[in-house]
Chains A and B, each alone.
Chain A
Amino acid sequence: MIYCPKCGTANRQGSKFCNECGGPLPTTGLRCPMCGAMNPTGNLFCDRCHTRLIPTERVLPEETKPEPPSPLKGISLPSVPLAEGGVGEEWLAELRAEAEEMGPAPEGAGVAPLPEGEIPPWLAELTAPAGPVAPKAPPPEATVPEWLAELTAPAGPVAPEAPPSEATVPEWLAELTAPAGPVAPEAPPSEATVPEWLAELEVPAGPVAPEAPPPEAAVPEWLTELEVPAGPVAPEAPPPEAAVPEWLAELEVPAGPVAPEAPPPEAAVPEWLAELEVPSRSSPEASVPPLAGITVPPSGEIPDWLREVQAAPQVQEGPPAKLPPIALVDVPTGMPAVPESVPPVLLDEETPIPAPGEIPDWLRAASEEALSEFGGLVPAEIPEWLRALQPRAEVGVEEEPAETEGFLTGLRGLLPIGRGLDMPATAQPSLPRAPSPAAVARAELLQGLLSRPLIASPMAAAREVQRPTGWALARFLVGVILLGAILLPMLIRLPLFGPPVAPTVEALFAVVNQLSSSIPVLVAWEYGPAEAEEMDRVAGPLIDHLLRQEARLVVVSTRPEGPAVAEVLLASRLADPSERPRRIANLGYMPGQAAGVRAVLGNLDDRTEVSTGLPASQAEAMVGVRSVADVGMVVVLAAQPDDLRVWVEQVSAARPDVPIVAGVSARAELMSTPYLTTGQIRGMVAGLTGGAAYEEKLDTGWGREYEYYLNSLGLAQIAVAALAVIGALIFLVGGRKR
């Protein structure tokens, strides 16, 4: 249900406009701050986790913010949300609507005077006889309800704002209306909308009409016991003078002489009212309890009879009149105390108003007297659930703030304040404004440590000192062994190794042999000076073979040192330097890794030849070469396996029909072999051994150099293997060191 913020009408969920007044309805839901679930508008608690959705605001005493009218103040409602579409919501909505119609008049203050044109006719008719002229011109009988016509004269002092229609007055109220004529309620809820429990609460007011007592079954036991003394009791003895509040005495005493000219018919007045009315005309002190719905016309419109009423208490003395039976309902223990919901008595500002929850002495005395008359009445036990709902007037405890939103607007004391428990903590932790001396000292120590120059730690220095001299001797021996293994083949030709074996070289050699004369070959030079000692022995025989096939070499590299390393090798392999422009075009460095490879594959002629500085398109070796599609083969000379991967990926994507061969280092051999077995590369030469095998197969005259390198490499490998075995034996026998 969505309640109209304007008229309070309950509308169906999803409605955008109020069915009653047409006003726009809030359509957004409420998100639970704890669990995040969306709740329909109007929910005070989350449907999922019961977290309060609309926090209550504690009103500070000094705040003078006017509170919205709270016609239901003091009525204990169950804190559990009512079921959707339940009876409780409808009657509550109607009550709220009626309360809003009352206007935002604060408690204890007089009602603002209505403009002349807004006074309803019935009120004008009522006020007319109340004034000085009223006795001479009573309202016509046809325009005044019967019950009101009967009570016109005594109702003079307090004219009702809006007499309820017969159709909307519930039975209990109809019974109460006639005797309560002098203080007609503003707008009692219709019978159909009053819940059962509220009806039970209101029934005790009915003892003034004993003709139609409420059914016993609908009244709690404790209330039933209270009805009997409350109803017919019309205390003969007036309460003591001190029991009547001053404001009440001022109001009631002069009520008698106001309208002696038009007494109501005796037959229409119940007994208790008859008793009340008689003293009201004769007794100097008639007391009228503060009842809801009493309005006082503005001071400018106060009739003369009312002026007399206000002036009379100063001269009237005597015992107070009997209290009306409606005020004699005693408050049993545990019952919701005399409700603070007693509507404000709209008298002048000087009229004292009893504090909420406080029972006037005169009312207490009257109730005790009534109980004594009907002896044997024992207050019933209040069930636990009702006792839990009982509002407690705690001394010194701040008053519960009123609900400002939702369908419980205006009510207070119904829901616990749970801001500290239910609402998530949103306060940001704040740092202390000034750091403590200890924190400052720690910060200075840290800053001093960080500002020190980097030095070896004392433990590392100690270990260095404690390291045995045998360890330094071992490292020295390892170095000597390695150096000897490398240099020994330079001094002595050892017949330790046979011809190199490299099975993959055969395929590469066959592919290169198939190249036609003057065919351009793209060479990716992907190694630098650090790997040049090995890779030059790998790339040399291959470049020799390509040059022997009269191929034109287009060199490019994605490594900055690549073009320079290529220049060194090419210069050494090219027999006739004058043929260089026709045979070789060095296109230099191409940044961007894979992107650079992709770019150069599509625009080989869009670069500059390094050795001549001319555009690649003008280089003699680049005739007819614009992209990778124009080359007969791609040769990748890579020391790192990733470089080979990049080239294989990009060339295969750009031109799958262009064959790829590779010359890789021994380190990259293992990762390059899968490309060879899958056919992505047609041939491969790997490491110094592979280069030596290719050289042997090509027979270019570099065999003596390769023999030296292979012997040095072989002896070094044997030396390393021997060192590993010796070290393993030493540490296996000698024990593990830490």
Chain B
Amino acid sequence: MDRLVTRILPTAFAMGTGLLVLLGYLLPLPLLVSVRDELVRWAVIVAAFAFILGFFNLLRVHSRRARKSGGLYSAVLILAALVSLTVTTGALLVPLLRFLGDWWFRHVLSPLQATVAGLVAFVLAVAAFRLLRHRREAGVLVFLGAALIVLLGTLPLMVPGGDWLMNLRMWWMNVPAMAGMRGLLIGVGLGVLLVGLRVLTGTDRPYSE
């Protein structure tokens, strides 16, 4: 019974729905198209509920950690999550509280996230400084040279040689970097196709135990 619930039924549902959606694209018959659209709509609903489930799971996990020593950060996280939930929900339900929601987003959430993202620049600067501290390989030197070209070539420098540096940067971006990026994109496309086929055929079952 456990095997039926945890493995067989999820696999059967995944394969069945995947094949139906695929048939809806390959054979645009009215019935198949309607079935396809309905299944896609179901997927959106399920994803929304998964998002809510994830929120409550976050609260559950950090509520355990908050009881232990060193759980101060977890307690702050739970408090911030509940406040955000209350404020944004109240702003949606009560029009008079909408300003409160906007204020919370503009003056709390956005600055905090921007600050965290801004720390990346500092970390990258330190990493650039220590680039050759541990490794002295040819790849590291190539990486350092490419970083310098892109960093300086992006800027419209008003110095002699600025145009040459910008052209070098354009060549570097359009030829070597683009070649590598196209290879990555082809790999990603093939990987997505393969993963889709494996899920459709039941070879991969990420949804079952």
Contacts and interface: CB of A to CB of B under 8 A. Distances in A.
Query: Do A and B assemble together?
Result: yes
Interface of A: 453-454, 474-475, 478-479, 481-482, 495-501, 528-533, 560-561, 564-565, 567-568, 590-593, 595-596, 598-599, 602-603, 613, 645, 653, 666, 670-671, 673-674, 687, 689, 713-714, 716-721, 723-728, 731-732, 736-738
Chain B interface, >50% SS class: helix
B47 A674 contact: no
A613 B117 CA distance: 32
Nearest to A479: B122
Given A564-B105, A670-B177, A732 B136 contact: yes
For B51, B130, B147, B184, the residue with the greatest tally of chain A CB atoms inside 10 Å of its CB is B130
Interface in B101-147: 102, 105-106, 109-114, 116-117, 121-122, 124-126, 128-136, 144, 147
A592 B47 contact: yes
A211 to B, nearest CB: 79
Interface stretch (B6-14, B74-82, B155-163, B199-207): B155-163
A692 to B, nearest CB: 10
B68 interface: yes
Contact of B117 (A531, A603, A645, A674): A531
Contacts of A482: 121-122, 125
A714 B155 contact: yes
Contact of B156 (A453, A501, A560, A720): A501
A496 B156 CA distance: 8
Contacts of B70: 453-454
A564 B148 CA distance: 36
A13 B105 CA distance: 84
Interface string B159-178: 10010001000000110011
B177 to A, nearest CB: 6
B166 A501 contact: yes
Q: Which 7 A-B pairs have the closest CB atoms?
A: A727-B129, A724-B128, A529-B110, A592-B47, A530-B113, A529-B113, A595-B43
Nearest to A720: B125
10 contacts: A482-B121, A529-B113, A530-B113, A530-B117, A613-B95, A674-B185, A716-B121, A717-B152, A720-B151, A731-B132
B156 A590 contact: no
Given A501-B156, A718-B152, A718-B155, 20 more contacts: A496-B159, A528-B113, A530-B114, A560-B51, A561-B109, A564-B102, A565-B110, A590-B44, A593-B47, A595-B47, A653-B25, A671-B181, A689-B156, A714-B157, A717-B151, A724-B144, A724-B147, A727-B128, A731-B130, A731-B131
A612 to B, nearest CB: 10
Nearest to B184: A671
B106 A568 contact: yes
Contacts, number: 164
B168 to A, nearest CB: 14
Contact of A529 (B41, B69, B109, B156): B109
A738 B181 contact: no
B72 interface: no
Contacts of B134: 736-738
A728 B147 CA distance: 13
Contacts of B121: 482, 716, 720
B40 to A, nearest CB: 5
B26 to A, nearest CB: 12
Nearest to B156: A498
A335 B177 CA distance: 90
B182 interface: yes
A674 B114 contact: no
Contacts of A713: 155
A530 B44 contact: no
Nearest to A568: B106
Given A497-B155, A592-B44, A670-B181, A728 B122 contact: no
Nearest to B174: A673
A737 B48 CA distance: 50
B156 A500 contact: yes
A474 B116 contact: no
Contacts of A479: 122
Nearest to B133: A731
A560 B159 CA distance: 44
For A593, A613, A728, the residue with the greatest tally of chain B CB atoms inside 10 Å of its CB is A728
A596 to B, nearest CB: 5
Contact of A736 (B48, B133, B155): B133
A493 B69 CA distance: 51
